[in-house]
Amino acid sequence: MSAPLPPPSLLSHASKLRHLVSTLSLHTLAAKVHKLPRFPPPIYFLSLVLAGVGVPVSEDLLVMYAYLTTPPKDQAATAAAIFLGVVISDVTTFEIGSRTGDAISLPRPVRKLFLKLNLVSSTPTTSALFKFSRLSSFLTGFGIRLSVGIRGPLMLAAGASGRVRRGWYMAGTCLGGFGSMALQAGLAMRLLR
C-alpha cells in the first residue's frame, strides 16, 4: 500500500515555487521581494522533502526566499515547516544512501575525501563492522548540514558507508539545521538592506 499523494494544488504550488526559485539570482530576489508571490508553509515543507528524494531544488535559495517573502505574523509557522522539511530531507537522503550501500558510485574527489576520513573502505565492499563513535556520527550530520552545495552527495555517501550511526547523525542534522537556517535567514535579511 503506497502513501497517499499530496493534493494536486500543493504539487502545482511546489512546482511553481521550484521554477521561481531556480530562475532568480540573489540580487534579483532581494530587489523584487515585495512583488514576489507568497506561499503557505506546507509548500516550503513539501519542496524541501522533495529535494531529499532528488528533485532539484536549491535549499539555500528556497529558505532565503521564504524568509524574504513571509510576513512577520507567519514567520514562526514558516520556520517550523522549513526546519521539519530540512531535517526530513536530510534523513531521507541519508536513508537512500544506507539502503543502496556500495551501489552508489562516488565521484573521485568525494571518494578520496571519504577514504581519508575513513567513511568508506578502499575495498569494493564496505565493512559495517567498524561503526563511528557517537560523537563522530553527530559531527558528520552537523558538518554535512552546514556544507553548501554538496549536501546531497555527502549525505548519500554517509548513509552508504554503513559506518555512521543513524540516530546520532539525525541529532547532528537537527542541530546543524538550526545553524544553517540562521545563516540563511541572516543572509536574506542582509539582502534586504
Mean pLDDT along residues 60-72: 85
**What is d(CA 191, CA 73) in angstroms, rounded to the nearest whole number?**
20
* Between 128 and 57, residue with greater pLDDT: 57
Query: Using one digit for the tens of pLDDT, what is the confidence trace for 68-126?
Result: 888 888 889 999 999 999 999 999 989 888 888 765 666 677 667 766 666 555 554 44
Among 123-127, 158-162, 182-186, whose mean pLDDT is lowest? 123-127
* Between 23 and 147, residue with greater pLDDT: 147
Q: Which residue has the cell 550530520?
A: 141
Q: Give the residue extent of every domain in the chain.
A: 9-192
**What is d(CA 179, CA 192) in angstroms, rounded to the nearest whole number?**
20
- Whole-model pTM: value is 0.69
